Amino acid sequence: MASKLLRSTSKSLLARQSLPPCILAHQSALCRSSSSAVSTTTESSSAAKFTPTHTVPSSNTNRPDWNRAVSEAEKIVGYPTSFLSLRWLLSDEIANVALHLRKLVGSNHPLLKTAKSLLYNGRNNMQAWGLIVLLISKAAGHLNVDEMEEDKAAGVLHSQRALAEVTEMIRTSHLVHKGIVNITPGLYSEPVVLNDMTFGNKIALLSGDYLLSNSCSELAALRNQHLVELMSGAVRDLTESEFLGRRDLQNNPLPPQFLTTKTSPDDSNQIMESLDELPMTPALADWTTRNVLSAGSLLGKSCKGTLKLAGQDAELQEQGYQFGKHLALAWQACLDLEPFTSNYAPGTIFNLTSAPVMFHLEQEKSDELLNEINKGTESVTNIDYKKVYNIVSKGPGMRLTKQLQKQHSQQAMKVLQVFKESDARTALSNIIVAMGSI
């Protein structure tokens, strides 16, 4: 009865496009519940042999500027982006997943960390991707579209709203699937731990598949073959990104071989001082390829697809792709900097293919850092991350990554100029500026 009531409430909310206090309170309760579960998991993590490897410390000091920019942008498109996920958050299937997640408390399965990151607001929240798709939709406008298709209050099409939701669900399903643990023989000697990890994998696999299948269903309902091909390419790129380069046994990425040996291609020694644009060295080329596949492709093709739905010409659609790609790369450079812009928290594991680490390996060739990173061939948990942090934070990687973030932000800003001046364009500019202030 309660489930049917919630689903009925969700449908009426979709029609009114507003969030009453009771639903907001429900979401807050979900977040508090998730926070409590993950907190309990962290306290008991010493009992487990697996440590999640995608944790990034957050910077509370910079959140207000980012949150203000996102909050103002949400008002322009008619509703908060968290509303896009309301439909499946209140569904029976997701309710069952939430119940099963409680069984994982204490197991330290990475799926719990993923759930927390998806529920909490902040610049790591993937719900902002749907917001960007809606903003670029409104900034561009639409041509020769049936009036019944238009949401006149927000200035976007109903099909564009659906695409924004598809984008978020594809991204979310990808993150959930990344939480699957590779259970090799002998990895967990205790049967209880093995059962918990196996059960967590089943939940991660099925819930990720549920989101992906729902996104495919909504995409097909738009009845646009070109859009389906475009977004299918984005899903393909996401998958390919998980098989690119060296990996440990848990599929965590490691820097390419040419960066972890004393010999490297000659063009890696290009001077990177006082340049407006960084030269495309092997390290930068590798970083760019990884992140275009894992982030830039989805956001870029979503922006391109929403302009296709609006009836815009091919040239403007390509501009939309370039904007989404550069914004995603600037976003990723910003996230790569985050572990090195605050005091290191003991036990924190960060991405070894992040821009600061890659740049440092290419520029310095420190024997100490090379030897430390090469310890992670079997598992990145064998690496002393505090030592890596101390070495990288004192090298050129930080400066070059800031330059990289600025470069992609400027390119995204440049693309924005092709759109006429509007509140939506201003909101997108504010989001880019907020990233740069981090």
365-414 tens-digit pLDDT = 788 899 999 999 998 989 999 999 999 999 999 999 999 999 999 999 99
Average pLDDT estimate for 231-259:
92
User: Thinking of the domain 63-261+274-436, which architecture would CATH place it in?
Assistant: Orthogonal Bundle (1.10)
Please state, rounded to an integer, the average pLDDT across all residues of the chain.
77
pLDDT score for 31: 38
Measured N-to-C along each axis, helices 92-102 and 21-43 cross at an angle, to the nearest 10 degrees, of: 30
pLDDT score for 327: 95
Give the torsion through C-alpha atoms of 362, 365, 371, 376, to 10 deg. -10
Q: Has residue 95 got a pLDDT over 60?
A: yes
pLDDT score for 172: 86
Q: Has residue 251 got a pLDDT over 80?
A: yes
Domain ranges of the chain: 63-261+274-436
Name, in order, each residue with C-beta under 8 angstroms of 280's C-beta and a sequence gap of 6 or more: 288
Name, in order, each residue with C-beta under 8 angstroms of 420's C-beta and a sequence gap of 6 or more: 139, 141
What tens digit of pLDDT does each residue of 178-199 get? 888 888 887 787 888 888 888 8
Taking the C-alpha atoms of residue 123 and residue 135, their distance in angstroms, rounded to an integer, is: 17
Q: Which of 83-97, 246-260, 261-275 has the lowest mean pLDDT?
A: 261-275
pLDDT score for 47: 34
pLDDT score for 91: 61
- For tokens 């609006």, what's the residue? 310
Strand partners, 247: 253
Q: Is residue 404 helix, strand or coil? A: helix
Taking the C-alpha atoms of residue 386 and residue 354, their distance in angstroms, rounded to an integer, is: 15
pLDDT score for 324: 96
- For tokens 């815009």, what's the residue? 312
Q: Has residue 72 got a pLDDT over 90?
A: no
Cα–Cα distance list, 54 to 4, 118, 352 (Å): 36, 13, 10
Give Rg (Cα) of the chain.
Answer: 22
Which pair of structure tokens corresponds to residue 192?
Answer: 């209880």
Average pLDDT estimate for 78-87:
54
What tens digit of pLDDT does each residue of 288-300 get? 999 999 999 999 9
pLDDT score for 105: 64
The DSSP annotation for 22-70 comes to: HHHHHHHHHHHHHHHHHHHHHHTGGG-S---S------GGGHHHHHHHH
Average pLDDT estimate for 114-135:
68
CB 260 within 8 A of CB 316: no
Taking the C-alpha atoms of residue 104 and residue 313, their distance in angstroms, rounded to an integer, is: 49
Taking the C-alpha atoms of residue 284 and residue 281, their distance in angstroms, rounded to an integer, is: 5
What tens digit of pLDDT does each residue of 142-153 get? 887 777 777 777
When pLDDT is cut at 50, 70 and 90, the band that residue 28 belongs to is very low
Strand partners, 150: 157
- Residue 244: which of 179, 300, 172, 295 has the closest Cα? 295
Tell which phi-psi region holds residue 305, choosing left (phi > 0), alpha (psi between -120 and 50) or beta: alpha
Q: How many helices (H) and strands (E) does the chain have?
A: 18, 2
Average pLDDT estimate for 134-139:
93
φ, ψ for residue 184 (rounded to 5)? -90, 155
pLDDT score for 226: 95
Taking the C-alpha atoms of residue 141 and residue 36, their distance in angstroms, rounded to an integer, is: 43
Which pair of structure tokens corresponds to residue 141?
Answer: 């406008």
Q: Has residue 284 got a pLDDT over 90?
A: yes
Which pair of structure tokens corresponds to residue 409?
Answer: 């932000």
Q: Is residue 108 helix, strand or coil? A: coil
Q: Which of 68-72, 144-148, 302-306, 363-367 has the lowest mean pLDDT?
A: 144-148
When pLDDT is cut at 50, 70 and 90, the band that residue 42 belongs to is very low
pLDDT score for 364: 85
Burial track 421-430 (b if 16+ CB lie within 10 A, e otherwise): ebbbbbbbeb
CA torsion sign for 239, 52, 106, 35 is negative
Give the torsion through C-alpha atoms of 365, 389, 122, 236, to 10 deg. 40
When pLDDT is cut at 50, 70 and 90, the band that residue 240 belongs to is very high
pLDDT score for 70: 77
CA atoms within 13 A on the CB side of 415: 26
Q: Has residue 58 got a pLDDT over 50?
A: no
Q: Has residue 19 got a pLDDT over 80?
A: no
Predicted structure pTM score:
0.77
Q: Residue 151 belongs to what H/E stretch?
A: strand 150-151
Taking the C-alpha atoms of residue 435 and residue 438, their distance in angstroms, rounded to an integer, is: 6
Measured N-to-C along each axis, helices 225-241 and 158-178 cross at an angle, to the nearest 10 degrees, of: 20
Highest mean pLDDT among 37-46, 125-134, 187-196, 402-411: 402-411
Task: State percent of the chain over pLDDT 90.
Answer: 42
In 237-299, beta strands by DSSP E: none
Average pLDDT estimate for 44-49:
35
